[in-house]
Chains A and B, each alone.
Chain A
């Protein structure tokens, strides 16, 4: 046994003496990120942050936008497009000579097929396309390739052009390789089962391997029509723990850490080998006040609670770097976004409003809160400021899916959470925050306004009118009006807009943090 012991010790010494890699190779980008949200790689189904980021780097769409100025829309797989005078027919000319990774040429039929396929499969994000009147029955007629380079899309109404165009930049509008996908079709599933874990497209990168909860590896597409990226490979490793990400970054075992917390960002900033990179994201942090609750249904109470949040205090402490104060439902950067922030922590005003509402001594209320950072810290701060006006807030902690299940069933008093836009057009958030066509329990559509039982026929009409306004300036004005009413009266206490922050090695340049999750791009990354 002594001998065995000695050999164990000897082996341990050899092992620990093995040199560890101090740096990642120059043509490989290594990212640490929480990627356990990926449940599919099929663009017709992807609706998660990390999945969208994968598709953004591997699948071209017809068009794209400048991540610095989203109003600048340009052609990607399509070279140009025209819109008919009646505003219902969009004609795209495809970029010639583009080939899929499989070697198959990309034609207008691939583009038409991809959109039709998403509509027929009808997965969660399909509404982004079906809201233009497409159904599995009419889609063959409404979305068609008239020849190899011409794609025609006919909408049911004359919408604001950017409404459709932005939806065509969303992940669901990614162009898949029809031949490859259909070669893997099973029981009429349009290749869905296969594409959930495989790849058939064209983009700066292509899929190499996805190991769920472990890693996602993409390789450079050397034949990319837009020029091959500098990185030969991008490996995203699933590292849950932010402190572990920080250690890996400091040691140079990874190039980018994606989930650092404020304290860690502070230490990254003070390290000359590291930098902090930020980009504004469209996600909004808010509280939803259920109108089923008698106290919360009182407009003065809603107003009072908006004065009982320490926006500035949180911004400079617990959510420093991660969130910025924002109080309207359209995030900064969107057409018509309202940037005024009229609410501050004002306890005496809140007390007065509560007294006028008939609650001079406050009331008791619960808030469903997911037990993750920074939501939990925010809830604790809110609990403390609510208490200053006698509002006794009980935090009910839960896992993400658990609190969400309760929220979706309208069984909450207050829900604190985040909401990210699905595409870059203002309708994406107006649709959920300011529209509620049917407030009954078995409504067909259940937007956030429905979840909080907020019945708003007038705002719903105004939001519906805004998608038909084709003059951008007038349309922006309409959204500003809707947001002003919303800000003053709604049961949504909108508090912050997200800033995405990453710790990056100083020698790694060109990582793009764009406004949407599929705008986080690697193709311009270089390492010295």
Chain B
């Protein structure tokens, strides 16, 4: 490679761009193929069950479904390169517009859920590791086990029954009380940010109160995973010699645990948290259904079941971008947290 003497940062950037582009192309190709092999006729979603044959045929041709597969794929990629993700059949809107509407809803929910999962899950994991085998460890293990094993659908409904219907602590399903619906023009699409920017604090608090329950439930799953991983990372650290050394030198126990040991756990933990966050960003279909939360997961599923392929491909690209973005971000965080990686 001596013939190509690009400066290192440029080479790195080029590397990333090529990798990302190839990843996207591969992702699109696989999704495209899946869309063509599912036993669902995409024309049905448009014309419905009653349309006469000539209408069905016309729409099939309009969609380009009569062309060979490679041609259909080439046309799609060409449109995407020009920034046109096509129109969704189900919503009659451009896919890009739909995604701008549904993704922020998911982003809001996933971010709050991840915060809850991390702020509670990490200390719980640390406590469990420190009190290994004793009652705090057992309690945290059981809490985590529930988080892993209870179906989110059931938990969501029970949450609504208890905190909404019985105790009246939180509002019902939806992102806002309907009286506030449509009062805020979406800027970012994230209700908390938009209402705060508009200075509409009443709406802000309403949006926040609607978030509490679904975010807690999603956060619970994140917590179960994060606390479990924190525990095992911590156990590994606590058995290291530098910990023994610190204790021998008379460093206070809380400092040994929360500064020395936890400081080293953050590095692998970042990957765990990033992955769990990325998973939540794909959208949690069941949570979205129970809480009438118009997010990406529901959009993607609904589109797939109707073979609305423009929407499916568009949403898949967003998910792909999220994964790539979060991976890059965790790489950066790695370098910040771990001096050896710089």
Q: Which of B127-135, B174-182, B239-247 contacts A (4 or more CB under 8 A)?
A: B174-182
The answer on a CB contact under 8 Å between B53 and A20 is no
> In chain B, what residue has the closest Cβ to A215?
B181
Minimal beta-carbon separation of B260 from chain A (angstroms): 16
* Binary CB contact string for chain B from 89 to 104 against chain A (1 if under 8 A, 0 otherwise): 1111100001001100
- Extra pairs beyond A213-B299, A244-B172 (16, CB < 8 Å): A18-B205, A20-B164, A39-B45, A39-B90, A123-B47, A123-B51, A209-B182, A213-B102, A238-B292, A241-B157, A243-B157, A250-B165, A251-B164, A399-B305, A405-B44, A444-B53
Distance A241 CA – B165 CA, assembled complex (angstroms): 15
Contacts of A25 in B (CB 8 A): 179
* Bitwise interface map of A from 1 to 34 toward B, beta carbon under 8 Å scored 1, else 0: 0001100100110111010110011001010000
**Cα distance A404–B292 in the bound complex, in angstroms:** 27
Take A30-B178, A127-B52, A237-B174 as given contacts and tell me if A16 and B212 are in contact as well, using a CB distance cutoff of 8 Å: yes
Q: Which residues of A contact B309 (CB under 8 A)?
A: none
Contact partner of B52 (CB less than 8 A), chosen from A8, A238, A445, is A445
Q: Is the CB of B181 within 8 A of A14?
A: no
Contact, CB under 8 Å: B170 / A217: no
B101 touches A401 (CB 8 A): no
B55 touches A247 (CB 8 A): no
Please report the C-alpha to C-alpha distance between residue A36 and residue B181 in the assembled complex, in whole angstroms: 18
Q: Max chain B CB contacts within 10 Å: which of A16, A213, A446?
A: A213
Residues B205 and A124 in contact, CB atoms below 8 Å apart: no
Report which of B40, B172, B173 forms a contact with A402, defined as CB distance below 8 A.
B40
Within 8 A of A (CB), among B266-305: 289-292, 294, 298-299, 302, 305
Tell me the minimal C-beta distance from A239 to chain B in angstroms. Answer: 5
A216 to B63, CA, bound (A): 28
CB of A24, distance to nearest CB on chain B (Å): 8
Which of B53, B93, B205, B289 sits near A445, CB closer than 8 Å? B53
Give Cα A214–Cα B178 distance, bound, in whole angstroms: 11
Q: Which of A28, A127, A247, A404 contacts B165 (CB 8 A)?
A: A247
- Cβ of B66 < 8 Å from any Cβ of A? no
A126 is an interface residue with CB less than 8 A from chain B: yes
Interface residue? B257 (CB, 8 A): no
Cβ of B82 within 8 Å of any chain A Cβ, yes or no, is: no
- Which residues of B sit under 8 angstroms from A470, Cβ to Cβ? none
The chain B residue with its CB closest to the CB of A130 is: B52
Separation of A197 and B51 alpha carbons in the complex (Å):
21
Question: Is A408 an interface position by the 8 A CB rule?
Answer: yes
* Residue B54 lies at the interface, judged by CB distance under 8 Å to chain A: yes
Question: Are B98 and A212 interface neighbours, CB within 8 A?
Answer: yes
B160 interface residue per 8 A CB criterion: yes
Chain A residues 404 to 432 lying within 8 A of chain B, measured CB to CB, are 404-406, 408, 422
Closest 9 CB pairs of A and B: A212-B91, A124-B51, A214-B294, A20-B171, A196-B92, A405-B41, A124-B47, A16-B169, A401-B40
Are B206 and A124 touching (Cβ within 8 A)? no
A sample of 11 cross-chain residue pairs with beta-carbon separation below 8 angstroms, ordered by A number, consists of A16-B170, A39-B89, A39-B91, A127-B50, A211-B101, A240-B289, A244-B173, A250-B165, A405-B39, A422-B50, A445-B52
Residues of A near B290 (CB, < 8 A) are 241, 244
On chain B, the number of residues with a Cβ less than 8 Å from chain A's Cβ atoms is 60
Q: Does B14 have its Cβ within 8 Å of any Cβ on chain A? A: no
Q: Answer whether residue A443 sits at the interface, using C-beta atoms and an 8 A cutoff.
A: yes
**Nearest Cβ in chain B — how far from A309, in angstroms?**
23
| Given A12-B212, A16-B170, A244-B173, also A47-B50 (CB < 8 A) | yes
Q: Is B319 an interface residue (CB 8 A)?
A: no
Q: Smallest CB–CB gap between A261 and chain B, Å?
A: 14
Q: In the complex the two chains form, is B39's CB within 8 Å of A402's CB? A: yes
Given known A14-B205, A408-B41, contact A239–B165 (CB-CB < 8 A): no
Measured CA separation A146–B302 after assembly (Å): 47
Residue of A4, A21, A123, A401 near B306 (CB, 8 A) is A401
B181 and A235 contacting across the interface, CB-CB below 8 Å = yes
The residues of B that contact A196 with a CB separation of less than 8 Å are 92
A247 & B172 in contact (Cβ 8 Å cutoff): yes
Cα separation A247 to B172 with both chains bound (whole Å): 8
CA distance A127 to B225 in the complex (A): 56
Q: Is B50 within 8 A of A15, CB to CB? A: no
Q: Are B92 and A197 in contact (CB under 8 A)?
A: yes
Given A39-B90, A40-B92, check contact A240 B55 (CB 8 Å): no
Q: For residue A403, give the distance in angstroms from its CB to the closest CB of chain B.
A: 9
B165 engages A405 (CB within 8 Å): no
Bound complex: CA A399 to CA B306 (Å) = 9
- What is the chain A residue whose CB lies nearest that of B304? A399
Chain A, residue nearest B101 (CB): A211
- What residue in chain B is nearest A8 (Cβ atoms)? B119
Q: Which residues of A contact B337 (CB under 8 A)?
A: none
- Rounded to whole angstroms, the CA-CA distance of A72 and B179 in the bound complex is 39
Taken together as a complex, chains A and B put the C-alpha atoms of A214 and B165 apart, in Å, by 22
B172, A211: Cβ atoms closer than 8 Å? no
* Residue A299 CB within 8 A of the other chain: no
Interfacial chain B residues near A197, Cβ < 8 Å: 92-93
CB-defined contacts of A208 to chain B, threshold 8 Å: 182
Given contacts A16-B209, A211-B294, A443-B53, contact A39 B41 (CB under 8 A): no
Given contacts A18-B206, A36-B90, A237-B178, contact A251 B172 (CB under 8 A): yes
Is B292 within 8 A of A237, CB to CB?
Answer: yes
Cα distance A215–B175 in the bound complex, in angstroms: 11
* Chain A residues, Cβ within 8 Å of B291: 244
Identity of the chain B residue whose Cβ is nearest the Cβ of A400 in the assembled complex = B305
A211 to B160, CA, bound (A): 24
Q: Identify which of residues 31-88 in chain B touch chain A, using a CB-to-CB cut-off of 8 Å.
A: 38-41, 44-55, 58
Q: Is the CB of B170 within 8 A of A20?
A: yes
List of B residues within 8 angstroms of A24 by Cβ: 178
Residue B208 interfacial (CB < 8 Å): yes
A125: interface (CB < 8 Å): yes
Using Cβ atoms and an 8 Å threshold, which residues of chain A touch B306? Answer: 401
Q: Does A477 contact B (CB under 8 A)?
A: no
Shortest CB-to-CB span from B41 to chain A, Å, is: 4
A48 at the A/B interface (Cβ < 8 Å)? yes
Q: Does B307 contact A (CB under 8 A)?
A: yes
Q: Does A469 contact B (CB under 8 A)?
A: no
Does B168 sit within 8 A of A, measured CB to CB? yes
CB-contacts of B304-337 with A (<8 A): 305-307
Considering the complex, give the chain A residue whose CB is closest to the CB of B45. Answer: A401
Return chain B residues, CB-CB under 8 Å to A239: 173-174, 292
For B161, give the chain A residue with the smallest CB separation: A247
Q: In whole angstroms, how far apart are the Cα atoms of A240 and B305 in the complex?
A: 15
Contact between A122 and B55, CB atoms less than 8 A apart: yes
Which residues of chain B are near A399, meaning CB under 8 Å? 40, 305
Contact for A20 among B89, B119, B168, B307, CB less than 8 A = B168
A70 within 8 A of B: no
Complex Cα–Cα for A237 and B45 (A): 22
Contact with B along A228-251 (1 / 0, CB 8 A): 000000010111110110011011
Instruction: List chain B residues, Cβ under 8 A from A47.
Output: 48, 50-51
Instruction: List, in ascending order, chain B residues with CB within 8 A of A251's CB.
Output: 164-165, 172
Q: A21-B179, A251-B165 are in contact. Are A213 and B91 (CB under 8 A)?
A: yes
Q: Which residue of B lies closest to A47 (CB)?
A: B48
Which residues of chain A have C-beta atoms less than 8 A from B302's C-beta? 36, 213
Interface residue? A253 (CB, 8 A): yes
Bound Cα distance from A478 to B31, whole angstroms: 53
Q: How far is the CA of A48 from the CA of B45 in the complex (A)?
A: 11
- Inter-chain contacts of A400 with B (CB < 8 A): 305
Which chain A positions have C-beta within 8 A of B92? 39-41, 196-197, 212
On whether A213 and B50 interact (CB within 8 A), knowing A12-B212, A21-B179, the answer reads no
Q: Which residues of A contact B119 (CB under 8 A)?
A: 4-5, 8
Chain B: minimal CB distance from A528 (Å): 19
**Most chain B C-beta atoms within 10 Å of own C-beta, residue among A20, A48, A208:** A20
